[in-house]
Structure 1
Amino acid sequence: MKRATRPTLRAAARRTWSLLFAGVAAVAGDSASAYDGREVSVVTLNLWHDAGDWPRRAALIVRTLRTLRPDVIALQEVLQDRGLPNQAKTIADALGFRYVFASVDAADKPRRYGNAILTRHRILAQGWKALAPLDDYRVALHLRIAVDGEPLEVYATHLHWTPEGGAIRRAQVEDLEAYIAVASAPGAPTVVAGDFNAPANAPEFAPLLARLRDAYDVLHADAAQDDAGHSTLNLAFYAPLRIDHVLYDPRAWTPLSATRLFDRPAADGTWASDHYGVRAVLRRRP
């Protein structure tokens, strides 16, 4: 896909900031939808890097997330480049959220591509790991956040993309599981979100699903059969497939809802991404 030229990127960045930041000061201090000690909401979205009209897409994404005020937002295909500020930072600043970005690209490179986690809660710890095999350039990003005074372990990832690449995804999942085991605080509840590039019931995800559950699968009994109705690939661009997931520990959480986001274009025809997002609301078990 052809990239925008640097002057175009600079112009797009200016448009993005002007669209996003009208009235943002009032949002940053807003306590609406505050965590009540029982529920936590998690959103995952593949951001589609800078494809399409990024300023319009960013405005649509921020408008929706500003209304929902999720506790955690996992983003994939996050890009920064000359003339294009880090897209996760742009969204986080507009929402008044904290953010952490991870990429295998060196920190001093102008062009970096990776994953991010945004949160409106205090960050207690953070880290990331390049997933094996290293020549696939995938990472797992980890935050420990404080939600109502209790730690929550959040992991975001974006796994190998080819349909025939199940063995590669299996290696990445095993590496992710090993990372979770050493990075998480003992006994802290865990959430894993991201673009897995395969359905939740794919055999390569067995190591994760031995102890975690997919919130959308649990609450939609027909999710595996009704691909068009449950696809997280945008049907304006792709054949239906549900590959974006929010996984939770059933010992710690009960899923209350799991819905798609951004599955309709804006009034002007703008799509937020070539993926739909997923929002899961989880209730903490006593």
Structure 2
Amino acid sequence: MMARRSLLGAVALTPLAACAAVPPIRPAVELKLVTFNIWHDQGDWAARRPLLVAALKAQDADVIALQEVLQDSAVGLENQAAMLARELGGYRVAFVSTDPEGAPRRYGNALLTRLPVLTEASTRLQPLDDYRTALRLRVTVQGRPVNVVVTHLAWQDDAGSVRALQIASLLDWLPNDGAPLVILGDFNAAQDDSGLSVLIGPRFFSALPRGSVATTLNPARGHPNRVIDHIFAERSAFAPVAAHLFGDTPTNGEYPSDHFGVAATLRLI
């Protein structure tokens, strides 16, 4: 009887031992991102400001990339990114401008995040006479480092070669250490623009698939239908989960900006 009990006990333990050998499934790690050209203080800023705050708050993003951010002490306008970080609550703000530190008027790009920040860096992009910048935050997403970059490229229709130079300048500047990379911003070009070819190739994908929306420029402001606001993520590090426009519905006839925002959820792989 003792031998029989021992045999039954060994059989009963076998499934448990097999289960213990299976590695645990790592929970999905998702990153919520937003890019929005906020049109500095143009139009009716007093009316747009609460709409902008509400639109961004509704996205509940981990990282917010902003373009056309202004501060101007001459007209009593505080840094718009700092204002939004305060109104949204819980966000750290980083701002870059070609205007000198301490100048009464500074115009540029910003990143807001509620994730832990490891490092912050910025650069001016080539060609220097176009006054374009890139701003990077290295954040941690559940312990994993991720580089998040905001930029705003040349606007002229025939500036494809300039945009290509700006993107090459940006990529050369970034650390080459294998940390996942996302580049957000107003690229002033659709995905078929020659200047963006390096961001549409095997290394990156667009979180907003080509043809999924008609425009990121607000037609109510007289703009043509063009998708020029993008979130590009590395294929080796991310999988797309969802993406959509926001700020594309008026409130009492007013919109948050002359652009629509782009929001995306990416899964780290």
| TM-score bucket of the superposed structures, by smaller chain | 0.7 to 0.9
TM-score (norm. length: structure 2): 0.85
Q: Is the 1:177–1:207 contact (alpha carbons within 8 Å) kept by the matching residues of 2? A: no
> What are the ranges of 5 or more consecutive residues in structure 2 without an aligned counterpart?
1-26
TM-score (norm. length: structure 1): 0.80
Residue of structure 1 equivalent to 2:37: 46
How far apart are residue 37 of structure 1 and its match?
Answer: 5.4
Secondary structure in structure 1 of the residue aligned to 2:166: helix
Secondary structure in structure 2 of the residue aligned to 1:85: coil
Q: Is the 2:153–2:166 contact (alpha carbons within 8 Å) kept by the matching residues of 1? A: yes
2:243 equivalent to 1:250: no
2:204 equivalent to 1:212: yes
Q: Is the 2:191–2:197 contact (alpha carbons within 8 Å) kept by the matching residues of 1? A: no
Give the aligned residue type for 1:236: A
The structure with the larger Rg is 2
Matches of 2:100 and 2:200, distance apart in 1: 32
Matches of 2:181 and 2:122, distance apart in 1: 15
How many corresponding residue pairs? 238
**Residue 88 of structure 1, aligned match among 77, 81, 85:** 81
Residue of structure 2 equivalent to 1:102: 96
Secondary structure in structure 1 of the residue aligned to 2:163: helix
What pairs with 1:140-159 in structure 2 (closer than 5 Å)?
A: 140-159=134-153
How far apart are residue 255 of structure 1 and its match?
Answer: 0.6
Give the aligned residue type for 2:149: Y
Q: Which deviations, in whole Å up to 9, do the C-alpha atoms of 1:6-26 show, x marking residues without a partner?
A: xxxxxxxxxxxxxxxxxxxxx
Residue of structure 2 equivalent to 1:24: none
Residue of structure 2 equivalent to 1:178: 172
What pairs with 1:54-69 in structure 2 (closer than 5 Å)?
A: 54-69=45-60
Give the aligned residue type for 2:208: Y
Q: Is the 2:55–2:256 contact (alpha carbons within 8 Å) kept by the matching residues of 1? A: no
Q: Which deviations, in whole Å up to 9, do the C-alpha atoms of 1:45-96 show, x marking residues without a partner?
A: 0010101122321211211222321011000000000111000000011112
Residue of structure 1 equivalent to 2:8: none
Q: Is the 1:177–1:208 contact (alpha carbons within 8 Å) kept by the matching residues of 2? A: no
Give the aligned residue type for 1:144: R
Matches of 2:189 and 2:62, distance apart in 1: 25
2:133 equivalent to 1:139: yes
Matches of 2:28 and 2:147, distance apart in 1: 16
Q: Is the 2:124–2:131 contact (alpha carbons within 8 Å) kept by the matching residues of 1? A: yes
How far apart are residue 283 of structure 1 and its match?
Answer: 1.1
Residue of structure 1 equivalent to 2:112: 118
Secondary structure in structure 2 of the residue aligned to 1:254: strand
Residue of structure 2 equivalent to 1:190: 181
2:249 equivalent to 1:264: yes
Q: Percent identity?
A: 44
Q: Which deviations, in whole Å up to 9, do the C-alpha atoms of 1:18-44 show, x marking residues without a partner?
A: xxxxxxxxxxxxxxxxxx851111100
Matches of 2:29 and 2:38, distance apart in 1: 29
How far apart are residue 201 of structure 1 and its match?
Answer: 2.2
